[in-house]
Every structure is written in structure tokens, then in C-alpha cells.
A and B are shown apart, each in its own frame.
Chain A
Amino acid sequence: MNVKLQPPASAYFITKETESAERRTLSVLVDNEPGVLARVIGLFSGRGYNIESLTVSETEHEKHLSRITIVTSGPPHVLEQIRHQLERIVPVHRVVDLNLTALSKGHDKPIERELALVKVAGTGEKRVEALRLCEAFRGTVIDANTEHFIFEITGRVSKIEQFIAIMAPLGLIEVCRTGVVALSRGAEGMLE
């Protein structure tokens, strides 16, 4: 046997990833039935795909259809696989890569929004500053007493991130975020 052909100690052929990762927002229309979310999440964890954010809710009650919005990232060929693998799931009706749709229509990216509830506690100058900044970010106060506020703030992910960062030194207690919801621009729906 030719000793020069002594291979590396693995039964698998491991190749390095050469393409760089991109961030994408996928819209997934599914039958709202038990286990459907587990199927989608299980696909991502089982195949080693990333989930940066995920939101889900029934959007068409009569047809029992839910819409899942997933923000994921990966190299282009992995993103293509994610889409195809999602389409294999039996209760999945349609998978749309909203970034690709946006590009095909000549837009930069899809419309994306996130909502956050931000609890800030404090007194005096910091409290006034927090309220002032909330107004500047077009947030609303949805709960308050003399020691705290809960702000509701909506916008792009970057805006939410920025607001939370600013609140940190002003008595930030906790944050709850919805994750990204998204639609493509223009008159057409995702099924067209």
C-alpha cells in the first residue's frame, strides 16, 4: 500500500467554507397546526443553520395560516438550501426570501420592523432624560409610576438597538423584543 496516500484521520471529507455569510429575512407561510413551529426550528437546529430572530402568529384565521418571519444568515448556497429544506416541510405553503424579492423589484431591502418593551427605573435627572429620549425616538409610555417607565418603541432593528444602548446608563431594568416582522414593498403579496 502506498504510504504517501495516508489520509487525514477522518471518514469525512471536510471542506472549508469560502463564501462569506449574508443576512436574509425569510417569510414562511404555514398551516397553523400543532408542531409546525417545532418542525421549522428543528430543521434549523438539526442542520446547523442560524436563527437570528423568529416571529410567528396566525395571520389568516379562516384558512388557519400562520406566517413565520425568520432572520437568518449564511453563505448564499446555504441560504438556498435553507429555503429548499423549508419547502420540504409538509405544512409549509410558501417560502419567500424577502431580500431577494426586494432586490428583484429594485429596492434595497424589505420593510422590517420590530417592537420592544423597555423598562427603565430611576429618579431625578436620569428619569427626565429617559422620558425625553423616548419622545425623541417616537416611543410611548405604556406603564409608569414614580420610579419607573415602560416604553414601547417600534422601528428597524438598528433603532431598537440604539435606544436600548442609550437607556443602559439611565436605569435600564429589562427589555422584551418581538423579533423582526417584515413585508416586501409594493402591491403584491407573498403568494403572487
Chain B
Amino acid sequence: MAEKNGRREAGARQMTGAEMVVQALIDNGVTDIFGYPGGAVLPIYDEIFQQETVRHILVRHEQGAGHMAEGYARSTGRCGVMLVTSGPGATNAVTPLQDALMDSIPLVCIAGQVPTSVIGSDAFQECDTVGVTRPCTKHNWLVRHVDELSEVMHEAFRIATTGRPGPVLVDIPKDIQFATGTYIPPSAARRRTSYQPATRSRADTVREAIELLRNAKKPVIYSGGGVINSGLEASHLLREFVQITDFPITSTLMGLGAYPASGERWLGMLGMHGTYEANMAMHDCDVMLCVGARFDDRITGRLDAFSPHSRKIHVDIDPSSINKIVHVDVPIIGDCGHVLEDMVRLWRAGSADKSRLKPWLEQIDSWKARNCLAYTPNDDVIMPQYAIQRLYELTKDRKTFITTEVGQHQMWAAQFYGFEEPNRWMTSGGLGTMGYGLPAAVGVAAAHPDALVVDIAGDASVQMTMQEISTAIQYDLPVKIFILNNHYMGMVRQWQQLLHGNRLSHSYSEALPDFVKMAEAFGATGIHCAKPDDLDDAITQMIETPGPVIFDCEVANLANCFPMIPSGKAHNEMLLPDEASDDAVSKAIDREGAQLV
């Protein structure tokens, strides 16, 4: 071992392709990878067996490996790594690759490939992996010679983690893994000149933005996952900027936690299931500062009625995000952290009269008074919103990480769980991948062994990647799977109720497993709870039980997720929960808004 470690310190030297892969992982600071062996990656697995620097976590399905790597990446700010074999191993990786592409998660996927000599012959477990994954990666490579392998590996990490982060894939034929060649360390690797991501923005555009903001009477900050991706410092700067400007702030699903939910200027999440106050503020603002978000269709609502009276500033590291969906007045291309740093500095250098914001902040308070997240409590059945609220209260004082699957439970989690820190919230936003949350939680737990990791799940989603509980058992990763069980694909049903005449086509979970027995079969602990009065004790039991827990929380079957911007509608045309619409509508709601709720 000592000899092996010694050998791994120096510069360029001879080794096999398989050794190069492991050496490149070590040299790029990787400590954990998620993978599944198979014929075309056996030489790499043989090298993994003979070292102790990189921990390999064996998954049950390659999709699980990808989501674990995503959860690992999102919760640490580092690059996630997955290792799969050729053919089905690579095709199973497609979903997490696309998921990472849409949510800008740094992810390196190493795939085995059939030997170079048989590529193109429809060999056993052959697949055109670079062809299949080309549209779902930021870049990918088929390594054709062992001497280019180490440089490709280093470039893969560089491209995955710099600029707008994203997934990359390195396809390595088996003969290349066996072949001996020259390993080049990262410091000596050539860098291709065509890839030069922007970091620093142009000073004049930032100055122009600050001038706009200084004169704004109804400003709003709309932040996104880019702030989280930029690193902790960006979140700190965002908080500082809000503090010195007094601007109200909302965030996308991906950006939750960058600004604390307990913060004074917090409006809650915006968009289709965002809060009334956030969406109304977006609609009525006069200057919008979009930081690290991309005007996704779940955010904007009807485009021709999107924030019609505002001047828009857009900070994004990816030039293609500018003017893609919404025309902006001041585009700023650069890393959110750097831009926010400049903005804080420029703001401090000038002065602004905070009293000018008073009418706007009062207006926002009156929208908040609308209490858009209200729901009718129930003593007999657990309301899903109540379950999230109790989960939040009982976990908020711990170091807690939350992952989700996709659907109603995901939106309730976003609405009712208060995120105070960045990197504590892992969810599939862009792709909307059911089955993301459980493996993502396993990945988070692998990175944070002392933390409480809860996957807020739905009864349908959780069955998509349930097998990864077995991975959690094997590596003693104490993930808590908190299933809001309503016996439906709730969000599908909600849309069928809204749009398809209440014809609930195939959205009822007719043959659910007994989740408690299932947990026990895996060697985990199962908890069942169906009564509101029992909920706190049951959640406490879940937290205190060592090891993985599956919590079957039976909730009100037909609860729906509101508020909601129905499709084809604008931000000020939200559908609020029935009970809220009966309330004495706050006097401050403008005529237009009142008509539309």
C-alpha cells in the first residue's frame, strides 16, 4: 500500500488505463464514488479493490448511482462521481445525467465500453454511449488511446465543475483500461482553448444595474440555484445585499436556502406553486434582479403577462440563458458570487433612501396577510402540509438535509419546510425526476455521516428507486424516508382534476406495498402513522432510530397543492386554496388582484 501511495504522488509516469482512472480521481480530490460493476469496467474495479483512498459505494441500479452522486455534489459543493459499465450500465445513467444537466449539478460519469476492436460490431453490452449521452451531458469523450486518458479525465473534472456546472461522461473501452501509457498529472495537463467560461462580469453592466436598483420604488430579487452553485460565499453576499438594500427576495425551487426562510425580507418561493406575495411582487415590481435563475416556465407563468412593468436585470454565468425566455434590460454575464460582490461594493459606495420602499413593503405585507398557504386543519387525518410543518419543527434545530422526490409532496416541502442554509435542499427541479430523492439522500448521507438526512417522498415516487434502501443498509447510511402516503400520484391527479374533468386515469396507487414490512425486509426500520396526535412521537422516533427508516405517513388522500398558477395564466392570476378565498380579503390587495383570486 505504501509503495502504491508513494507511486501516486509524482508527475508523469507509466501505468495502465485502469490505474490512471483511479489516479485521476485521487488527483482531482475525489474521495467517494458511486457505481456498479460489469464486464467493461472490471479492470477499473480491480484497481479500486487495491486501494483505500477512494471509497466506492455499491448501488443497486445505475440510476441510483447518478442521483447519489448528485445529492453528494449538491450537499457538498463538490463534484459527484459515478462509475458504470457499458451498455445497460450507461443507458441507466441517462436519467441522472439529464437531471444534472437541467439542474446544473457537477457530475462525472465514468463508463466502461467494449474493446476498441469490436466497437461498432453490436458486441455484447455494446451501446453508442457517447451518442446516447451527447445531448444529456455538458460534454463527453470516447477515449481512443491510453495516452490521452489522463488528460481527458482531468478535463472532465474541469468542465463539470467550472462555468455553469453540469454532467460529463468519459467512455473508456476495456482494452484502453488494460493498456499501459503515460499518466500526466492535472497540473501538467493541456487545457483546450475553446472552453473558457466567463467568471468576472463587465463593470459597466453591474454599475448600470446598481443605478436601476438605487432608483427602484418596487424592487424584487429573484434568486435561483446559480447562487447555491456559486458557493457559500455567494449566499452570504446575497444575504448581505438584501440586508443593505432592504429589497424583498423570492427564490426558485432550486435556490431555496440561499436566503434564510426566517429572513425579514423573505417572500417564499415563487412560480406555479409559489406564494401569493412572491408572485404578486414579481408581477407588480418595477425593477427585477434575477440572480442565478433562468426564467423557467414553472416560474414565469404566461410569458406575455410576465412582470409587465419591470426593468429586468439578469445575472447568469451562461450567456445562452440571457434573453432565452424573457427579454432583459441589463444582462450581466458572470459568476453570481463575483457579481454580488461587486454589487455589494457599489451599493455601499453610494446612498439610497430606504424610505422610498415603504409603500412597496407595506403592499407586500398586505399580500402576505392573504395567508396563501392556509389549509384546513384536521383532527382525524394528517394533512400533508401539517406533516411537513411538524417534520420541520422537530428537525430544524439539527443539521438536517432534505431531499425530495417529485410531485405534491415536493411542493409542500418547498412551501412548508423553512430552509435556513444553502446546500441543505436537494430536489429534482428541471427534469422533475420521480425517484430522485431516495438515492440523493443516500448520497447526502455518504457525504455527511453525522447529519440527519430526510427524503420527503410520495408513495408513488419512492417505489421508483426503492431498491437503494439496500445500499443505505450496506453502508450504514441512516437516511429517513418520510413518505406522504395519499395512495395517489397526487400531482398527476391534481392536474386531472383541474384539466381533464376529474377523470383519474391511472393515478391511483392500487397495489401499494406495506412500507413497514418492506423496510423490515430490507433490514431497515418501518414506522407507520395515520393519526395527527401520534405524529410528533412518530417523527421523534424516526429521528432517534439509528440506521435507515421508512416512515409511512398516511395523509389526507385528496388534498391538493395550492396556491397554484394555472397554466396559461399570469402571476397575478393565482388559484388560492378554497378556504383562503373566503377570508376577508386584505384591504390592500389591488382591484386587479382581487378580481382574479
Contact = CB atoms under 8 A, between A and B. Distances in A.
Contacts of A15: 302-304
Contact of B319 (A10, A35, A84): A84
A136 interface: no
Interface string A1-32: 11001111111110100000000000000110
B496 to A, nearest CB: 10
Contact of B566 (A5, A80, A93): A5
A90 interface: yes
A5 B569 contact: yes
Contact of B567 (A1, A10, A42, A46): A10
Interface string B105-146: 000000000000000000000000011001100110010100
B499 A31 contact: no
A90 B304 contact: no
A98 to B, nearest CB: 20
B313 to A, nearest CB: 18
Given A90-B194, A91-B194, A92-B194, A12 B142 contact: no
Interface string B289-309: 000000001001111100000
Contacts of B134: 35, 38-39, 42
Contacts of B131: 38
Contacts of B578: 1
A59 to B, nearest CB: 15
A133 B289 CA distance: 63
Interface string A27-51: 0001100110011001000100000
Contacts of A9: 499-500
Interface in A72-94: 77, 80-81, 84-85, 87-88, 90-93
B323 A30 contact: no
Given A1-B575, A30-B194, A42-B135, A84 B568 contact: no
B488 to A, nearest CB: 17
A13 B567 contact: yes
B320 A88 contact: yes
A7 B138 contact: no
Given A5-B566, A90-B194, A91-B194, A11 B495 contact: yes
Give the interface size bracket for B toward A.
35 or more
Contacts of A6: 498, 566
Contacts of B387: none
B303 A13 contact: yes
A62 B444 CA distance: 47
A38 B132 CA distance: 11
Contacts of B303: 13, 15
B135 to A, nearest CB: 5
B376 interface: no
Contacts of A8: 567-568
Contact of A13 (B144, B192, B568, B581): B568
B453 to A, nearest CB: 31
A81 B159 contact: no
A31 B597 CA distance: 55
A13 B300 contact: yes
Contacts, number: 78
A7 B324 contact: no
B573 A88 contact: no
A92 B196 CA distance: 10
Interface residues of A, number: 31
A38 B128 CA distance: 13
Contact of A90 (B192, B319, B499, B597): B192
A31 B195 CA distance: 11
Q: Which of B320, B495, B500, B575 has the most CB of A within 10 A?
A: B320
A12 B567 contact: yes
B193 interface: yes
Interface in B56-71: none
A113 to B, nearest CB: 27
Contacts of B130: 35
B322 interface: yes
Nearest to B321: A84
A25 B195 CA distance: 23
B498 A13 contact: no
B47 interface: no
Contacts of B138: 90
Given A10-B568, A13-B302, A46 B320 contact: no
A7 B567 contact: yes
A35 B142 CA distance: 9
B567 A85 contact: no
B329 interface: no
Contact of A46 (B135, B301, B302, B324): B135
B318 interface: yes
Contacts of A80: 323
A90 B568 contact: no
Q: Which of A10, A39, A90 has the most CB of B within 10 A?
A: A90
Interface in A167-183: none
Interface string B336-377: 000000000000000000000000000000000000000000
A30 B183 CA distance: 27
Contacts of B567: 7-8, 10-13
Contacts of A87: 319-320
B568 A7 contact: yes
A107 B498 CA distance: 55
B320 A90 contact: no
Nearest to B306: A13
Contact of B569 (A7, A81, A90): A7
Contacts of B320: 81, 84-85, 87-88
A82 to B, nearest CB: 10
Contact of A81 (B301, B304, B324, B498): B324
A92 B139 CA distance: 12
Per CB-CB distance, the 9 closest pairs between chain A and chain B, nearest first, are A84-B320, A7-B566, A90-B139, A93-B194, A7-B568, A7-B567, A9-B499, A15-B303, A90-B195
30 contacts: A1-B575, A1-B578, A2-B575, A5-B566, A7-B498, A7-B499, A7-B566, A7-B567, A8-B567, A9-B499, A11-B495, A11-B567, A13-B297, A13-B302, A15-B303, A34-B144, A35-B142, A38-B131, A42-B134, A77-B323, A80-B323, A81-B324, A84-B322, A84-B324, A87-B319, A88-B320, A90-B194, A90-B195, A91-B194, A93-B193
Given A5-B573, A8-B567, 11 more contacts: A5-B566, A6-B498, A7-B569, A10-B568, A11-B567, A12-B567, A13-B301, A13-B567, A13-B568, A87-B319, A93-B193
